[in-house]
Amino acid sequence: MKILVIGNGGREHTLVWKLAQSPRVSALYCAPGNAGIRQLATCVPIKVDDLAGLKNFAQEKEIDLTVVGPELPLSLGIADEFRKAKLRIFGPTRNAACIESSKSFAKDLLLRCHVPTPKAKTFEQLDHALEYIDGHSVPLVVKADGLAQGKGVVIARTKEEANDAVTNMLEQRQFGEAGTRVMIEEFLDGEELTLMAFADGRTVIPMIAAQDHKQVGEGDTGPNTGGMGAYAPAPIATDSLRQRIVRDILNPVVEGLSRVGSPYYGVLYAGLMIHRGEPYVLEFNARFGDPETQVVLPLLKTDLVDVLEAVVEHRLDQMPIEWHDEAAVCVVLASYGYPGPYQSGLPISGLSALDHASDLLAFHAGTATQGKEVVTSGGRVLGVTALGPDLRSARTRVYEAVNLITFDGQYHRRDIAHRAVPTP
């Protein structure tokens, strides 16, 4: 089979790494890819939002299956375009992907399906939003309705902060089009959990539950990032909690989308808050999570090609999916300054030290090749993942590996997985 992966981050490197292990794969391409992906797949310089370019490439190379990493092409309708052209693609249609690209769409769907989620109200007019804030107690959560690269959420501890957030979004157009509508949501405390699932329009099969660390600073402090690390399995997700999430959240949502004529094919990512023992949906994503994928896919025993094909052919109900009984911890190595401005083009050394360790993986996120050298090219540069018999040993191992990789200004959190394993 010839496979094309779309994207250029750590998530896509992990997808390519896992797909490359399949005896069924004869050729592997990635658009546009990065320096790590290049070692496993042929990288082609087509941007993720160039739908026509991607479709032409898939037709020309007679790609048997295209796997979409990021949300942008999904929200632009890449799955619709490919299906029209009779090209097989793993990912939801534009309408189904609205569960991620419109928070108000997702909220309406959740309410219609009686899925537990924090109370919220949507506004397009600033004076109405300010009035609502005035009449409610803080903390409040202000969210841009559209795609804002994970930056469109403000936890407002005071009314001033909430007022500023809605003003920035609705009046200053801080997030452009994505913030012409805002959602003001009730704040829920608790522990967060990511449960991703494969869905084929009817059947839902959950993956191993994970937790990510969104904030840049240790102890989960400071501004939000694209993710500074992750671990799986998350101990908070007992078998019974996972079953409840499938029964009370994922199944009703997949059924609800089918009922409105937008059956969901792909990965359904539920971002949950476990509040007083009950799971509430904070957000959905229409794709694999990043960095969660860097810890979940290394634990997958089954051939990923078989699973993706079962989704595309709507026969997940006949697809046994097996997992390794191990744990994984991923630490993201970032550029100094991230998520603010940072320097790029800095040489990375020590990567080859991981080559022969079967329990260590280095997934590239923001890297490029410059001559023979691998250099930094993004805020999140690498995700280093270690596997182990349990979280504690995976965590010890990942930090041994992280110390071997250096570049100027390398920053990482030293407390990944601290909720599951106390930091030494």
Q: How far is CA 221 from CA 215, 291, 342, 413, in A?
A: 6, 18, 19, 11
Q: Which stretch binds ligand AMP (CB under 6 A): 45-53, 78-86, 147-155, 290-298?
A: 147-155
Pairing between strand 182-186 and 2-7? unpaired
CB of 42 to ligand GLY, least distance (A): 26
Nearest CA among 311, 300, 368, 320 for reference residue 21: 300
User: Please, what's the b/e burial string for 167-202 (b: 16 or more CB within 10 A of its CB; e: otherwise)?
Assistant: ebbbeeebbeebbebbbbbeebebebbbbbbbbbbb
Give the C-alpha separation, 406 to 385, whole Å.
16
**Which one of residues 80, 185, 309, 415 is an interface residue with ligand AMP (CB under 6 A)?**
185
Nearest CA among 344, 347, 378 for reference residue 364: 378
Q: Rank residues 158 and 349 by Cβ distance to ligand AMP and give the closer one.
A: 158
CA 195 to chain centre: 11
In DSSP terms, which residues pair with 214 in a beta bridge?
none
Q: What tokens does 65 get?
A: 């299956």
Amino acid in the structure at residue 339: P
**Which one of residues 290, 326, 359, 415 is an interface residue with ligand GLY (CB under 6 A)?**
290
Question: Residues 121-160: x/- map of binding to ligand GLY (CB under 6 A)?
Answer: -----------------------------x----------
Amino acid in the structure at residue 69: G
Length reported for the chain: 424
**Which one of residues 71, 192, 200, 290 is an interface residue with ligand AMP (CB under 6 A)?**
192
By CB atoms closer than 10 A (0-12, 13-18, 19+), residue 424 is exposed
Is 145 near ligand AMP (CB under 6 A)? no
Residue pair 382/362 in contact by the 8 Å Cβ criterion: yes
DSSP state, 336? T
Element (H, E) at 29: strand 27-32
**How close are the terminal C-alpha atoms of the chain, in Å?**
46
Is 187 near ligand AMP (CB under 6 A)? yes
Task: Please choose which of ligand AMP, ligand GLY, none residue 188 contacts, taking the beta carbon within 5 to 8 angstroms, the exact cut-off set by kind.
Answer: ligand AMP
Q: Which stretch binds ligand AMP (CB under 6 A): 53-61, 148-156, 360-368, 414-422?
A: 148-156
Q: Rank residues 187 and 323 by Cβ distance to ligand AMP and give the closer one.
A: 187
Residue pair 360/401 in contact by the 8 Å Cβ criterion: yes
**Which one of residues 36, 227, 229, 379 is an interface residue with ligand GLY (CB under 6 A)?**
227
User: Please, what's the b/e burial string for 376-405 (b: 16 or more CB within 10 A of its CB; e: otherwise)?
Assistant: bbbbbbbbbbbbbeebbbbbebbbebbebb
Task: Please choose which of ligand AMP, ligand GLY, none residue 118 contacts, taking the beta carbon within 5 to 8 angstroms, the exact cut-off set by kind.
Answer: ligand AMP
Whose CB is nearest to ligand GLY? 289
Q: Rank residues 150 and 222 by Cβ distance to ligand GLY and give the closer one.
A: 150
CB of 120 to ligand AMP, least distance (A): 8
Task: Please choose which of ligand AMP, ligand GLY, none residue 87 contacts, taking the beta carbon within 5 to 8 angstroms, the exact cut-off set by kind.
Answer: none
Q: Which stretch binds ligand AMP (CB under 6 A): 78-86, 125-133, 149-157, 292-300?
A: 149-157
In DSSP terms, which residues pair with 191 in a beta bridge?
274
Q: Which stretch binds ligand GLY (CB under 6 A): 282-290, 305-313, 319-327, 343-351?
A: 282-290
Task: Please choose which of ligand AMP, ligand GLY, none residue 213 contacts, taking the beta carbon within 5 to 8 angstroms, the exact cut-off set by kind.
Answer: none
Rg of the chain over all Cα atoms, to the nearest angstrom: 21
213 contacts: CB under 8 Å, gap ≥ 6: 220, 227, 228, 229, 230, 413, 416
Is 222 near ligand AMP (CB under 6 A)? no
Q: Rank residues 40 and 153 by Cβ distance to ligand AMP and give the closer one.
A: 153
**Which one of residues 12, 80, 212, 359 is an interface residue with ligand GLY (CB under 6 A)?**
212
248-307 residues in contact with ligand AMP (CB under 6 A) are 271, 273, 282-283
Task: Please choose which of ligand GLY, ligand AMP, none residue 153 contacts, taking the beta carbon within 5 to 8 angstroms, the exact cut-off set by kind.
Answer: ligand AMP
Is 383 near ligand GLY (CB under 6 A)? no
Q: Rank residues 158 and 370 by Cβ distance to ligand AMP and give the closer one.
A: 158
Is 74 near ligand AMP (CB under 6 A)? no
Applying CB under 6 A, which residues contact ligand AMP? 118, 141, 143, 150, 153, 155, 185, 187-188, 192, 214, 271, 273, 282-283
Applying CB under 6 A, which residues contact ligand GLY? 150, 212, 227, 285, 289-290, 292
